[in-house]
Amino acid sequence: MHITRNKDTKRIEEKMVATFYTQRRDIIKGMETPVLLREWPYLFEMCGMMAHFKELTGMDVDKEAMSSKCRRVVSYLMSREKKSKIEDILSDMEIAKARHLDADLPGCLMLLLKHFNEDQAKMFLKVDETCLPSEVDDLPSAPCIVVCGSSPLTAGHFMVAVDQTIVNCSVPNVVDALMLMFAVYYCLNIGYPTELGGTLEFLQRCLFKINPDKGTKVERKASKKQQSVNPKVLSLITNIADFEWRE
């Protein structure tokens, strides 16, 4: 089906669910990403990845509900962050809206990275608009989004990489790219890098509604005691809830 570029989404999802156990077996036994990509090519495309993610977590991602929640997060952060600190993000959000692009989720993500003082370069690798997958250098081992343009908010083409391997070279929009990148952490059993721990844990708990009472996906630092919930994430979620109630 993949060789003939079959795009029958319903049939692909059915077959991904039917072979879920074998996919998990290959992932858990440590099959390397390039081999997984060859054996399970639909696992790294939107319909296949989200089918696997739903089977694994029991969560069905609702894009509309996610966008609505992102708008509320953006509203809160815009009221709290210094305008000089976020003016570039706000400008790109306006450009995206003028082009009829979805600015809610990527704008929310960029503002969260600023709020938690986390480096967006660890999540977004910017390359030239005409860059080919074979020309992308310096890929990190952690999942990341390759932005073919100057900003995740205004670019028109994206790629997703994991383990220094481009696993999807043709993602048409930033929302799909973000969902693929996040799902990869769960589907491939990858811990959140500490440099992005706050942002990714907020996405997990607030947008993807995965709220375990114990444990965290943030990689452990030997020198620090690890907490089950990042206090900064918990504080932000509480503050947003209070902000919405006051409004």
pTM of the predicted structure, to 2 decimals: 0.89
Phi-psi region of 100 (alpha: psi -120 to 50; beta: other; left: phi over 0): left
Q: Model confidence at 147, in pLDDT bands (50, 70, 90)? A: very high
CB 159 within 8 A of CB 171: yes
Judged against a pLDDT cut of 60, whether residue 222 lies above it is answered with no
Of residues 222 and 169, more confidence is placed in 169
How do residues 52-98 score in pLDDT, each as one tens digit? 999 999 998 888 888 889 999 999 999 888 888 899 999 999 999 99
Report d(CA 222, CA 247) in Å as an integer: 42
CB 199 within 8 A of CB 77: no
